[in-house]
Amino acid sequence: MKRIIYIATLILLPWVAFAQSEQKHSRIEKNLSIYNDILRLLDIMYVDTLNYDKLMTTSINSCLNSLDPYTVYIPEEDTEDLTFMTTGTYGGIGALIVQRDEDVMISEPYEGMPAQKAGLKAGDLLLKIDGESARGKSTAEVSAMLRGVPHDKISIVVKRPGEKKNLTFEFEREKIQINPVSYVGCVAPGIGYIKLTEFTENAASEFKNGVKDMVNQDQINSLIIDLRDNGGGIIEEAVKILSMFVPKGTEVVSTKGKIPQVETSYKTLTDPLFPDMKVAVLVNRFSASAAEIVAGVFQDLDHGVLIGERTFGKGLVQNIRPLSYGGNLKLTTAKYYIPSGRCIQAIDYSHRNEDGSVGRVPDSLTTVFLTKRGREVRDGGGVSPDIEVKQPEGINICYYLFVENMFFDYATEYCQRHPSIAPAQEFTLTDEDFADFEAFLTKKEFTYQTQTASYLESLKDLIKFEQLDSIAANELKALEEKIKPNISEELKRNRKEIEEMLGSEIIKRYYYQKGDIIYTLRTNKDFSEAKELLNDEKRYKKILNMN
């Protein structure tokens, strides 16, 4: 009897699968028919003229937004942005721009690129580009105006703080290749440092050249790999970098999805160049995707020590598929798994709350996995460091100074008065500089309302609504005075952090990104922890279970 039931079940299964497939296609056809009817009625009867391209793009984007943030439609006109995402290359002037009120200004020209070589500076307000006004436009619109074919001439008119007349710059656009390795240097006897900002094309070759130079010139035997704020990129570049450290043929990452075509196993293809190199990897909450994979592989294979904060938790794979009329769809097709078997994805987009929101996987629902030498690690929440470095929590006056552009504007004025400054590794702000900054804030009439004060205003409205204001008036007034910021006192209390942030903004004006890295590393806790660890052989081996 059991055998008969078993055979009957086997016969029934294909029919169940077929029925489910038919039901799915029926639902798709039904909803497409409804959608088509809605569009036809809008076209015929809607009171105003419709922008069909905008309507359809909004519809597509709304649909994709309900899935995850990484599945996106890229229309034909944005193909250049797609090229930049994967290669780090575009035709333009090589400068960061930011919105300032109704206008757009240069925030940072890249060293050695057309804007910097032509003389454009941070703080320059963009007025005209090739004769067309840039005023009142968004950063996206201005960015499109600045980009173009390499070697085409461009004319830019700017208003520069401190200059009475507008300035005109004429030069050629160039092919802008952003180097994914922003800094390489020997930071202590035997210890090298390399900052990798993204995993675009050539990231692995730039990484290899940087490390080889330090090995040959400085005889380093230890390496700090800085992956903080690295948002990821091309997985193949990450695998190439891992191949420089771990044995040939090692599986470092695999992908699993709905269909077999997206399931892949990535193994190292070459013999390692630096197999005996001691490694410390710096990570933070903004290290994502390929950066997390590299960090996670070093951890899972017990080949390096992770230092910093828990990473972002993006373990989703995106593929780009061409669409008709020149568009593209970047869609999530699988999840990444690293050698211990864990997935680093921290957010479950497939199970949303009733309000559409999503949350991180609770620690209580994560699973324990083991590294190569038996250390416990967990899935479902990014990659946790072996050495956690606590970061300051909460906000203080520095936050308000930053969002109100006080650091940026003071640095602009500072550069007008100081043609040169000490090298990045030596530069410090003096007492006179700090006093001058405080005077600058007074001149700008800088003030701010704390988040606490904002909530107090809401509380006062509620108290008044409930007619309790008369009995609570004295207490409210006393609290209001208590939390009112004293700018001078707050500046003194947070002087160290203010000097670090202000000094960083000033350094960038003279020594650009490399100088800023040199300057900030001087006081960075993650970096200091890494140097101490790599100088302590016994502790390094203990963390990795090498004893």
pLDDT of residue 284: 96
CATH of 90-177, one of 1.20.1050.10, 1.10.1740.10, 2.30.42.10, 2.30.30.100: 2.30.42.10
Query: Span 470-485, mean pLDDT?
Result: 86
What predicted TM-score, i.e. pTM, was given to this entire model?
A: 0.87
Q: Catalytic residues, which ones? A: 289, 300, 314
Q: How confident is the model at residue 283 (pLDDT cuts 50, 70, 90)?
A: very high
pLDDT of residue 183: 97
Helices 406-417, 495-521: axis angle to 10 degrees equals 70
pLDDT of residue 255: 93
**3-class secondary-structure state, position 308:** strand
Helix/strand/coil (H/E/C) assignment for every residue in 459-509: HHHHHHHCCCHHHHHHHHHHHHHHHCCCHHHHHHHCHHHHHHHHHHHHHHH
Query: Span 314-331, mean pLDDT?
Result: 87
Question: For the chain, what is the mean pLDDT?
Answer: 90
CB count, 10 Å around CB of 125? 18
pLDDT of residue 81: 66
- Residue 545 CA to its chain's centroid (Å): 32
Q: For residue 23, which phi and psi values (nearest 5 degrees)? A: -65, -40
Q: How confident is the model at residue 547 (pLDDT cuts 50, 70, 90)?
A: confident
Are the CB atoms for 352 and 358 separated by under 8 Å? yes
Q: How confident is the model at residue 61 (pLDDT cuts 50, 70, 90)?
A: confident
Q: How confident is the model at residue 520 (pLDDT cuts 50, 70, 90)?
A: very high
Determine the Cα–Cα distance for residues 180 and 293; give it in Å rounded to an integer: 17
Nearest to 105 by CA among 81, 129, 84: 129
Identity of the amino acid at 463: I
Query: Span 56-61, mean pLDDT?
Result: 86
pLDDT of residue 398: 96
Query: Span 376-381, mean pLDDT?
Result: 90
Whether residue 274 has pLDDT greater than 90:
yes
Report the CATH architecture of 181-391. Alpha-Beta Complex (3.90)
- pLDDT tens profile 438-459: 999 999 999 998 888 888 888 8
Of the CA atoms within 13 Å of residue 546, those in its CB half-sphere come to 15
- pLDDT tens profile 136-185: 999 989 999 999 889 999 999 999 998 999 999 999 999 888 899 999 99
Determine the Cα–Cα distance for residues 384 and 365; give it in Å rounded to an integer: 16
Q: Cα dist. 364→4, 337, 341, 387 in Å?
A: 44, 20, 18, 21
Least confident interval from 62-71, 280-289, 443-452: 62-71
Greater pLDDT, 474 or 219: 219
- pLDDT tens profile 10-54: 555 555 555 566 677 788 888 888 888 888 888 888 888 888 888
DSSP 371-434: -TTS-EEESSSS---SEE-PPP-S--HHHHHHHTTHHHHHHHHHHHH-S----TTT----HHHH
Q: How confident is the model at residue 360 (pLDDT cuts 50, 70, 90)?
A: confident
Q: Name the one residue in this structure whose structure tokens are 């903080």.
A: 228
Q: Cα dist. 178→49, 112, 181, 402, 512 in Å?
A: 43, 11, 9, 26, 14
Please report, for the chain, the start and end positions of each structural domain, with discontinuous segments joined by +.
Answer: 28-65, 90-177, 181-391, 397-448+486-532, 451-483
- Residue 159 CA to its chain's centroid (Å): 31
Whether residue 357 has pLDDT greater than 80:
no
- pLDDT tens profile 112-149: 999 999 999 999 999 999 999 999 999 989 999 999 88
Nearest to 211 by CA among 165, 268, 279, 261: 279
